Amino acid sequence: MLRMSTLFLRTLRDDPADAEVPSHRLLVRAGYIRRIAAGIYSWLPLGYITLRNIERIIREEMDAAGFQEVHFPALLPRDAYQRTDRWTEYGPDLFRLQDRRGGDYLLGPTHEEMFTLMVKGEYSSYKDLPLSLYQIQTKYRDELRPRSGIIRGREFVMKDSYSFDLTDEGLNESYNKHRDSYIKTFDRLGLKYNIVSATSGAMGGSRSEEFLAPCETGEDTYVLCEACGYAANVEAMKTVVEPVDSTSVPQMQVVDTPNTPTIDSLVQVLNEKFGKGFTGAHTLKNILLVADGKTISVLVPGDREVDLKRLQANLPGAQEIRLFEEADFAKNPALVKGYVGPQEAKQLGITLYADPRVAPGTSWVTGANKKDCHALNVVNGRDFIVDGYVDAAEVRKGDACPQCSAPVVIDRAIEIGHIFQLGRKYAQALDLTVLDRDGKSQVVTMGSYGIGVSRAVAAIAEQTLDEIGLCWPAEVAPAEIHVVATGKDDKPFIVAEELAAQLEGLGRRVMLDDRRDASPGVKFKDAELIGNPIIVVVGKSLADGKVEVRIRRTAERMEFPLVDAASEIVKLLS
RNA sequence: CGGGGCGUAGCGUAGUGGCUAGCGCGCCUGCUUUGGGAGCAGGAGACCGAGAGUUCGAAUCUCUCCGCCCCGACCA
């Protein structure tokens, strides 16, 4: 039983000055966490109980799915991360340190290497697979900008799992098992979330989904179709545009358009000259880039920007992409800045990509590859041929859903889980192989699955809190029932004590406000701020042999006769 | 790393060259009070982020450094 009279807790009346987002403010005010450094927090009793409740739920669901818990050190030698190149690849986000002999160590940001090596050390037969292992552990990432309290910290608690399979089908099965297990876990945690398809980056091909908890203060933006439920990362959003019949489009025509290096200036001149109501959407933007050293051009409608992250995620095999710079233009005199068109891409040896919005048969105004000249009626498939289509244009609210064509919304969310198929990258690098049925050595294929445990505390808080405080789901809350004794004589305190003991006897987690020196107002405010789901007040109504019960979330109030209060309260929890 | 803001007691803050750094919350003692962050009285608690400089005199002005928050870039 948590007794407020002795609980290590001091709630704050004022908002902390360094907290902006609501969950952070309230977690500090209610005495759950305290900041130690940027992105590094201590957990006080209430916070730590809550964190452990979440861990418990995750653990129960992992175990129920047949995954086995292990535990690695957070302090790791450089070696394993050297072999997968992540010692350098992870860059400045990696916390590095040295021991007294000058040996390099790191604080683990994620543990693919260690899990892979652990399995390699124990198993060597296909008969041992499939296998899924997990741990709940503190991770370290030296984030460029920690923010929003516990939502993005430099030290945080993560549950990470890894699956090991012989075959791609096996990996799919393991992936689906994790997916199901995550659904159960997040449902139990009381989180609202969307499962969003994510890109798996340059490795390509493998499945990847994020569990996103919608919330205004979230830092991930994603696309959501409220009509059919389609949800996707902005990078992974697919654009579906039908080809257009272009047989009636007149011949391409080159016109003088002096001083029109930008879309805005071009549209203005077009309207002055032809007065046809031209807009940016009629023009075609040719974005020149250098991808892995080669010049490529990406076509998007003139009223849209290229989303470089999206392009990078969708361009097959591209490792490094950057925009054309002055020096690049200088090296390629055929490319006239501000007047580039796709018509001569082939002759110039440029790989030409188009966003799907630049559909086959669509006709555009675009650069004529000559200073101060543009070309009208430039038709995709007739006047230029693209080498491939790639989703690269910025995604906007109102764009068509790829499943049902309804306008999508752009929403914000906190990423609370991520599952993806790693494939054989780590197993290959670290030589994790097993012998198959035929005695042949096979590289194992892996999946990687994460839940942000400490982040989940913030995400749940964020989704449930209100103006007066935190408001936890019962399983997560520090206590299920918060019993408050008020009054100046002993009776309510004795009764409250008995009731709390009774509830505990029924297997409930109870917090008891037995402070004799605090006024009723203070106790009510604290109870509301702390956010346990049921508040029981033992006080005035005791005169009628009753106790008062309040539902924190709905502010609903009721009274029960003392004699059956305990059983009635327990009923409310089920 | 760019832009902005900030650093005064455990927390929130006032104090833009002047003498003993002020207030609220919280904390301690006593009395009163007990259904919505009680009242009165007394009290403890601050090398004013650090260092250097300007000055008769610096929380206040200058420089350097450190730290924190927000936006952006970046990031499962």
Q: List the structure tokens of A75.
A: 């302090």
| A517 CA vs B26 C1’ separation (Å) | 14
Q: What is the pLDDT of residue A151?
A: 93
Taking alpha carbons only, the member of A472, A469, A488 closest to residue A480 is A472
Q: How confident is the model at residue A336, as a pLDDT? A: 85
Nucleotide at minimal C1' distance from the A525 CA: B37
CA A86 / C1′ B75 distance in Å: 15
Contact A306, A393 (CB under 8 A): yes
**Nearest nucleotide by C1' position to the A217 CA atom:** B70
Helix axes A491-505, A562-573, angle to 10 degrees: 40
Considering all nucleic acid strands, name the nucleotide whose C1' atom is nearest to the C-alpha of residue A455.
B76
Residue pLDDT tens, chain A, 574 long: 999 999 999 999 999 988 989 999 999 999 999 999 999 999 999 999 999 999 999 999 999 999 999 999 999 999 888 988 888 888 888 999 989 899 999 999 999 999 999 999 999 999 999 999 999 999 999 988 888 999 999 999 999 999 999 999 999 999 999 999 999 999 999 999 999 888 654 444 478 899 999 998 888 888 888 898 888 888 888 888 888 898 888 899 898 888 888 888 888 888 888 877 888 888 998 888 887 778 888 999 988 888 888 888 777 666 677 788 777 888 888 888 888 889 888 888 888 999 999 999 999 999 998 888 899 999 999 999 999 898 888 888 888 888 898 999 888 999 999 999 999 989 999 999 999 999 999 999 999 999 999 999 999 999 999 999 999 999 999 999 999 999 999 999 999 999 999 999 999 999 999 999 999 999 999 999 999 999 999 999 999 999 999 999 999 999 999 999 999 999 999 8
ipTM score assigned to the predicted complex:
0.94
- Nearest protein residue to B27's C1' (by CA)? A10
Query: How many angstroms separate the CA of A20 from the C1' of B5?
Result: 13
Strand B: positions under 7 A of a protein C-beta atom = 1, 6, 10-13, 24-26, 33-38, 67-76
Q: What is residue A248's predicted lDDT score, i.e. its pLDDT?
A: 87
Residue A182 CA to nucleotide B18 C1', Å?
66
What pTM did the predictor assign?
Answer: 0.88
DSSP A499-558: HHHHHHHTT--EEEE--SSS-HHHHHHHHHHHT-SEEEEESGGGGGTEEEEEETTT--EE
Nucleotide B28 C1' to residue A12 CA (A): 19
